[in-house]
Amino acid sequence: MNHWIILPILVPAVVAPMIVLAVRHDIVLARIFSVASAVIMLLLGGILMGMAADGQTQMYALGNWPMPFGIVLVLDQLSALMLVLTAVLGLVVLLYAIDGWDRHGRHFHALFQLQLMGINGAFLTGDLFNLFVFFEILLIASYGLMVHGGGPARMRAGVQYVIVNLVGSSVFLVAIGLIYGVTGTLNMADLAVRVPEVGASEQALLQTGALLLLLVFGVKAALVPVHFWLPGTYALAPAPVAALFAIMTKVGAYSIIRMYTLVFGDGAGEMAGIAADWLLPAALVTLVVGMVGVLASRSLGQMVSFGVIGSMGTLLAAVALFTPAALSAGLYYLLHSTLAAAALFLIVGLVVDRRPGLGDDLVVAPTFAQAGLIAGGFFLAAIAMVGMPPLAGFLGKLLILDAARDTDAVVWIWSLILATSLLAIIGFGRGGSTLFWKSSAVAGRLETDGVPESGALSFVAVGLLLAALVFLTVFAGPVTGYLDATAAQLFETRSYIGAVLD
Amino acid sequence: MEFIVASSVGVLTAAGVYLLLRARTYPVILGLTLLTYAVNFFLFAMGRLSVNLPPVISDEALGYADPLPQALVLTAIVISFGMTAVVVAMALRAYLESDSDHVDLSRSEGSEKADHS
């Protein structure tokens, strides 16, 4: 048994109460603890990725109960990859937040650590009910973070966000109940063994459970028709929180990939491929809704939020093909879209800080401090987001188009991805030129009271995210090599089942 | 017994969904509570219904009640209890700050960035 696997959950679980109990009155100490924990998680992510790189699935039985009765954590290449992505994003967002944002409310750092703990747990667990518990942990931390700093509009968007997710949790429990009632287990590896053996009389119950599960993960992943909570939440959340939330939609995508390759994948007998028929149309509609929303947005935050919806559509369209090549392309796009969306949300935060009274509304107004630098960052991040060459978004879309070439849905996927990319280019082009370019034609200058809060460290955070995007582009070869192995491992379900149950 | 359990789950869910679709936060929270009750009932029944059967191993037992759903329901109750407290607190705060307890965001709020205070 490999004890490293539980550390990404334990470290934030220990640090968060320490911040609440010991250093809550000293923001500097809280920052030191928080950043140290994020650095440790990044190191752990690297170590675990190294351990998973040989293609062996490893497991950690909590309490050392015999399988399949105990709760199990499982490390494979996909989990390791998601852990590293979370740690990178968490560290960068934390750098932005300690520039001053964490002072706006209390307990920012403790909530932030708990959020990371929930996300790491969701990526590591090999048990369906445990996945529900980690979802709740990351959600309850996100409720606190979402309304950090307060304000009427943000509070009300927060209430909406909580209610939608509580309904989602109820549906999740119903799905778990149905699946347990039919199969008698909640261990994912054991489920993969039992699902093909379910008799014909209980197929209907199991199908209902499997599709309800897809609905729940769809809520998390902002899939149409359950995407409506995302624009209000992300656009009204504080900038660093919105940037961290970029990984939250990917938790939904990860769960879809995990469940519908392992449990309801090719080996599931009657249930094989149950998700694909629903996922592909939903993903394509999501893509269109997101990119049309980009075109119609009235503020930059809203525009980026709809961009996130659109990118989730692209990502899930690739996932819905359920072939190794498409999944590998989808994972590459997942890495890219998380980083690009986070960079854009942080840039929105920089803009809001410097336009008093206007925020990020897309109206022509006089120029503001450091407009040139911010415009440059926005230009790069927007290029990545819409998928224009030379950055990673272009490569990601190219890989997805290439992977879709031999499938039945090729016409739909090609035409919609290409057409919506044009919409996104127009939308982000309009947003950028309204905010940055046209402002030079207006006399005067917007001045903030004193120095804007987000200073040098915030620019470093944005720069790091952009550098990560460039890294992803330059080292696309090795990265896709790793992702090909990851996708191959996902379809080799027998090694996963063997690692857990034997 | 099956009829009573099934119909109570159904009635609770129907009432919960009806209340969820109301426009103000208080009925919506009540609806959420009813929905979680329905879900807890449902989870409880997923180990199959049985009367007078022990959940732990005993020599005289003719059969066993599934103990796992009971543990799951306990977890679900604790989580939903905590979540209800959170949503009540947040709804109160939102009402006090904005003087309106409508659930939906008005058109202007949707696009306006919260005050940077």
pLDDT tens, residue by residue, A312-355:
999 999 999 989 999 999 999 999 999 999 999 999 999 988 88
For residue B12, pLDDT beyond 60: yes
Q: How far apart are CA A502 and CA A494, in angstroms?
A: 11
For residue B113, the model assigns a pLDDT of 44
Say if residue B104's pLDDT is above 80.
no
B49 to chain A nearest CA, in Å? 11
Q: Do A155 and B110 touch (CB under 8 A)?
A: no
CA distances for B57 relative to A70, A466, B63, B64, B66, angstroms: 18, 59, 9, 8, 11
User: What pLDDT score was predicted for residue B106?
Assistant: 63
Could you tell me which residues are beta bridge partners of residue A125? A73
The answer to whether the CB atoms of A151 and B25 lie below 8 A apart is no
Contacts of A345 (CB under 8 A, 6+ apart): A234, A239, A240, A242, A243, A245, A246, A301, A304
Determine the pLDDT at residue B66.
82
Distance CA A237, CA A154 (A): 7
Residues of chain A positioned with their CB less than 8 A from the CB of B38: 170
The DSSP bridge pattern shows strands A72-75 and A58-61 to be antiparallel
Q: Which of B99, B10, B37 is nearest to A156 (CA)?
A: B99
pLDDT tens-place string over residues A290-303:
999 999 998 999 99
Structure-model confidence comparison of residues B82 and B61, the more confident one: B82
Range name among A12-21, A270-279, A424-433 with the lowest pLDDT average: A270-279
Question: What mean pLDDT is predicted for residues A423-441?
Answer: 89
Q: pLDDT tens across A111-132, in order? A: 999 999 999 999 999 999 999 9
DSSP code, position B113:
P
Q: List the one residue out of A399, A443, A390 whose CA is nearest residue A417.
A: A399
Q: What angle separates helix A300-320 from helix A276-296, to the nearest 10 degrees?
A: 160
Band (A151; pLDDT cuts 50, 70, 90): confident
In the prediction, which pLDDT does B117 show?
37
Q: How many residues does this entry show for chain B?
A: 117
Which of B25, B80, B112 is closest, CB to CB, to A153? B112
Q: Are B31 and B22 in contact (CB under 8 A)?
A: yes
Alpha helices in A276-409, H assignment, sequence order? 276-296, 300-320, 324-354, 371-386, 392-403
**Chain B residues near residue A231 by CB distance under 8 angstroms:** 110
Gap from A323 CA to chain B (nearest CA, Å): 34
Contacts of B36 in chain A (CB under 8 A): 166, 170
Cβ <8 Å between A167 and B35: yes
Chain A neighbors of B109, CB-CB under 8 A:
152-153, 156-157
Q: What percent of chain A has pLDDT over 90?
A: 58
Nearest CA in chain B to A299: B111
* Digit-coded pLDDT (tens) for B21-45: 988 888 999 999 999 999 998 988 8
* Partner residue facing A162 (CB), from B35, B38, B86: B86
pTM of the model as a whole: 0.92
Do A165 and A233 meet the contact criterion of CB atoms below 8 Å apart? no
User: What distance in Å separates residue A154's CA from the closest CA in chain B?
Assistant: 6
| Ranges A45-59, A264-278, A438-452, B34-48: which has the least confidence | A438-452
A170·B36 Cβ contact <8 A: yes
Report CB contact under 8 Å: B86, A169. no
Using a CB-CB cut-off of 8 Å, the residues of chain A touching B90 are 143, 147, 155, 158-159, 162
CA-closest candidate to residue A332, choices A404, A384, A421, A392: A392
Distance from CA of A432 to the nearest CA of B (A): 17
* End-to-end C-alpha distance for chain B, whole angstroms: 56
| Cα–Cα distance list, A68 to A64, A72, A161, A174, A447 (Å) | 11, 8, 35, 22, 63
Closest Cβ opposite residue A174 in set B28, B42, B110: B42
| Helix, strand or coil, per DSSP, at residue A238 | coil
Interchain proximity A170–B103, CB inside 8 Å = no
**Using the beta-carbon criterion (under 8 Å), do A173 and B32 form an inter-chain contact?**
no
CA distance B15 to chain A (A): 14
Contacts of B83 in chain A (CB under 8 A): 136, 140, 162, 166, 169
User: For residue A132, which of A121, A141, A142 has the smallest C-alpha distance?
Assistant: A121
The domains located in chain B, with CATH, are 2-49+65-102 (1.10.287.3510)
Sequence-distant contacts of A280-283: CB under 8 A, at least 24 apart: A280/A317, A280/A320, A280/A321, A280/A409, A282/A218, A282/A223, A282/A224, A282/A225, A282/A316, A283/A223, A283/A312, A283/A313, A283/A314, A283/A315, A283/A316, A283/A317, A283/A319, A283/A320
Residues of B in contact with A169 (CB under 8 A): 79-80, 83
Q: What's the whole-number mean pLDDT along residues A154-164?
A: 88
Give chain A positions within 8 Å (CB) of B28: 163
Measured between beta carbons, which residues in chain A are less than 8 angstroms from residue B111? 235, 297-299, 302, 361
Q: pLDDT class for B112, splitting at 50, 70, 90?
A: very low
Least confident of A215-229, B36-50, B58-72: B58-72
Q: Could A361 and B113 be called an inter-chain contact, meaning their C-beta atoms sit closer than 8 Å? A: yes
Amino acid at residue number A88 = V
Return the residue in A101, A107, A159, A179 with the most chain B beta carbons within 10 A, the one to mutate for interface testing: A159
pLDDT at A359: 81
Locus of tokens 């720069």: A463
Residue A258 has, within 13 A of its CA and on its CB side, a CA count of 29
Is it the case that residue B114 has pLDDT exceeding 50? Answer: no
Question: What's residue A319's pLDDT?
Answer: 92
A192-198 contacts, C-beta under 8 A, 24 or more apart: A192/A262, A192/A263, A192/A265, A192/A267, A192/A268, A192/A493, A192/A496, A192/A497, A193/A497, A193/A501, A195/A263, A195/A264, A195/A268, A195/A269, A195/A271, A196/A267, A196/A268, A196/A269, A196/A270, A196/A271, A197/A269, A198/A269, A198/A270, A198/A271
Q: Determine the pLDDT at residue A389.
A: 85
For range A240-256, the mean pLDDT = 93
**3-state secondary structure (DSSP) of residue A317:** helix
Task: pLDDT band for B110, please (50, 70, 90 cuts).
Answer: very low
Residue found by looking up tokens 């659930």 in the block = B103
d(CA B65, CA B47): 7
Chain A residues close to B112, C-beta within 8 Å: 153, 299, 359, 361
A232: nearest CA in chain B?
B110
Q: Which residues contact A4 (CB under 8 A, 6 or more apart)?
A: A44, A47, A48, A51
How far is it between the farthest Cα atoms of chain A?
74
Answer whether A217's CB lies under 8 Å from A293's CB.
no
Q: Which residue of A has its CA nearest to B96?
A: A152
Whether the CB-CB separation of A158 and B90 falls below 8 Å is answered with yes
Q: Do A160 and B42 touch (CB under 8 A)?
A: no
Q: How confident is residue A49, by pLDDT bands cut at 50, 70 and 90?
A: very high
Nearest Cα of chain A lies from the Cα of B55 at a distance, in angstroms, of 15
Question: A345 and A353 in contact (C-beta within 8 Å)?
Answer: no
The CA distance from B110 to A260, in Å, is 35
H-only helix segments in A224-275? 229-236, 239-245, 248-262
Q: Could you give phi then psi for residue A48, rounded to 5 degrees?
A: -65, -35
Number of CB pairs, chain A paired with chain B, less than 8 A apart: 137
Instruction: Pick A160's closest partner by Cβ from B35, B39, B105.
Output: B105
Q: What is the pLDDT of residues A461-472, one digit of tens each?
A: 999 999 999 999
Backbone φ, ψ for residue B102 (5° rounding): -70, 145
Per-residue confidence (pLDDT) for residue B107, from 0 to 100: 53
**For position B102, what pLDDT does the model report?**
81
- Residues A75-84 as b or e (16 or more Cβ within 10 Å = b): bbbbbbbbbb
